[in-house]
Chain A
């Protein structure tokens, strides 16, 4: 950040927790809990992009949905622009909803195939009772233009568009209500390499133009390095490391982050031939029954006796760079 005063926080999550019940039998008795998100805390500053990375099942999408209150919190608190939304009931929340939106992974599945593109994009405007019919039509054309689609496309149906264009439609819909904050949940995972760059460039342009704040959820660590200002790394429902993007990629401190970054293939045969890879053995344990102490200890190449007994506390190792590992004590 450029100036000395800390930038204001748009979203603050403290001890954010989301457990899903495991129900069995005909009376749907609760027999256990999937600890999808297990007590994580972070801030998202106004106008920044926070990258959220981790492997499948680590809880990153659950975080995205929970901060938008698409799920109710199991514990913890959530403050959006000074307002506590963690406990707020859905009716009250509805007035705030236009301010936070979501872009989904699969642009095929998130667009209704029976609606025209124009009505898909206008739907949030209708739903929140803004603008009359003519104004709405004008706004749809503006939005299509803003995401790089021809405004005359508004009478077409989603199947007439390619994957990249469909993602642009999803972005236009998210922008319709002029939000401050957008959760992008794997927005480029379903797209081809040559199209991914187009969509990422568009997201960055829109951020500059409209002053948007993003939570960018992705498993593509190279793309996150490009787009994010800060990055948070999740493993099995916990946040193991968070920090400014350059510091975290240059000097990852948590053994999991180190392994994760070293596992990403680099498109350069010379680098690949000489690179030291940390290959972590085994698979991610079940979030219904996470290991005691540090959740990564069962696969950690540097695990010690203490890791099984004590849950490591996240500590600041450099300016704004936090990691939760006993090795850093």
Chain B
């Protein structure tokens, strides 16, 4: 790793130029088009985007969880603990997944196995990755369930997934993801399927646990409200690429990409009266049949000008850790790299 110095700024995960395509009946779909980001130790990176923006495929690709075929990772590197995850064998990959990198999915019902009790599902990674024996694994499993706030944890190890409510199941999923003390946790829309009061419980739990356990988290969501409440840094994705990335306060106070600004404007506020008419982004998200040669947001963008149709803007720094991929400079009201 380039800057593997110990301390709070150590980079634990580095994704560089990741590209994933899907071979479908209707031809290639370029789902991820050159995504690069770093994850620092202990930080929470929020990844925001709409369906089809490539946020889930990016995260699934870096753990090689996308089904190949139809998917193919055509380019890029994922550096984690001194190795490139895209180059290691499946055997080695299995050691990383569920071990040093934990994963939480959106729907807790389909990601738990209904025919095994949760104790078995919690103990499995502990025995495989940490080499614990039965008794040790059981003890740690009970400790984990207790950690995620499930009452009478030791007894509930014998219960099956259907005996838990939606929120409780998501807590079990979090316990499994945390089982082997991961350095990195990837959470893909973990609260989207939950009600708001249960979402509030889970967000509260994550706020508490991340400091207790000191892991780095990538939190995928489409909800800007969730990101505002828990993230340190935010990456906004559109058309298979990161279009803007900044610290959370900076992004909300000073959004630069027209897509980010539109997205913030479209959300009605619960706090105050909004405008009569909601702001809406015209048009549809892009079809990713071709690798974009122009800005993917240009057809829906109020600021677009001739350069946008000619070249796809690269993610570039505009100071203080703020990256944006746009030809337009809202400050000067002119092209950015004229």
Contact = CB atoms under 8 A, between A and B. Distances in A.
A192 B278 contact: no
Contacts of B222: 192-193
Given A226-B268, A271-B271, A266 B204 contact: no
B252 A219 contact: no
A197 B279 contact: yes
Contact of B200 (A56, A225, A277, A283): A277
A194 B225 contact: no
B196 A263 contact: yes
Interface string B53-71: 0000000000000000000
Nearest to A278: B200
Interface string B272-286: 011001111110110
A283 B270 CA distance: 24
Contacts of A280: 197
Interface in A184-210: 192-198, 200-201, 204
A272 B278 CA distance: 22
Contacts of B274: 225-226
B266 A193 contact: yes
A268 B252 contact: yes
Interface string A220-257: 01110110000000000000000000100100000000
B196 A197 contact: no
A269 B195 contact: no
Nearest to A223: B268
How many A residues are at the interface, by size bracket?
35 or more
B46 to A, nearest CB: 10
Contact of B278 (A200, A259, A277, A283): A200
Given A269-B249, A270-B249, A283-B168, A246 B273 contact: yes
A162 interface: yes
Among the interface residues B195, B203, B204, which one has the most CB atoms of the partner chain A within 10 A? B195
A261 B270 contact: yes
Contacts of A72: none
A265 B203 contact: yes
Contact of B280 (A201, A225, A260, A267): A201
Nearest to B205: A279
B196 A267 contact: no
Contacts of A249: 270
B248 interface: yes
Contacts of B249: 269-270
A198 B196 CA distance: 24
B269 interface: yes
B192 to A, nearest CB: 11
B205 to A, nearest CB: 10
Contact of B284 (A164, A261, A271, A281): A164
A55 interface: yes
B1 interface: no
A290 B284 CA distance: 45
A264 interface: yes
Contact of A279 (B204, B229, B252): B204
Given A197-B279, A264-B225, A222 B269 contact: yes
Given A192-B50, A219-B196, A265-B223, A225 B270 contact: yes
A142 to B, nearest CB: 23
Contacts of B197: 55, 259-260, 263, 279-280
Contacts of A197: 266, 268, 278-281
Interface string A278-296: 0111010000000000000
B318 interface: no
A98 B279 CA distance: 32
B167 A283 contact: yes
B128 interface: no
B231 to A, nearest CB: 8
A264 B270 contact: yes
Interface in B198-214: 198-201, 203-204
A246 B50 CA distance: 30
Given A219-B195, A268-B252, A280-B197, A194 B270 contact: no
Contacts of B228: 265-269, 271-272
B191 to A, nearest CB: 9
Contacts of B196: 55, 219, 221, 260, 263-264
Contacts of B51: 192
A164 B199 CA distance: 26
B263 interface: yes
Contact of A194 (B168, B262, B273): B262
Contacts of A270: 249, 252
Contacts of A201: 277-278, 280
Among the interface residues A266, A269, A272, which one has the most CB atoms of the partner chain B within 10 A? A269
B267 interface: yes
B173 to A, nearest CB: 16
Contacts of A196: 266
Interface string A141-163: 00000000000000000000010
A184 to B, nearest CB: 15
A187 B267 CA distance: 16
Nearest to A271: B271
B109 interface: no
A316 B231 CA distance: 41
Interface in B251-299: 252, 262-264, 266-271, 273-274, 277-282, 284-285
Contacts of A162: 284
Contacts of B262: 194
17 contacts: A55-B196, A56-B195, A194-B281, A198-B280, A198-B281, A201-B277, A226-B268, A262-B200, A264-B196, A265-B225, A265-B226, A266-B228, A267-B224, A267-B267, A267-B269, A277-B204, A283-B168
In the complex, the 3 A-B pairs of residues with the closest C-beta atoms, listed nearest first: A265-B225, A197-B280, A263-B200
Given A194-B262, A194-B266, A219-B195, 14 more contacts: A164-B284, A194-B263, A197-B268, A221-B196, A260-B196, A263-B196, A265-B223, A265-B228, A266-B225, A267-B224, A267-B267, A270-B252, A279-B200, A283-B168
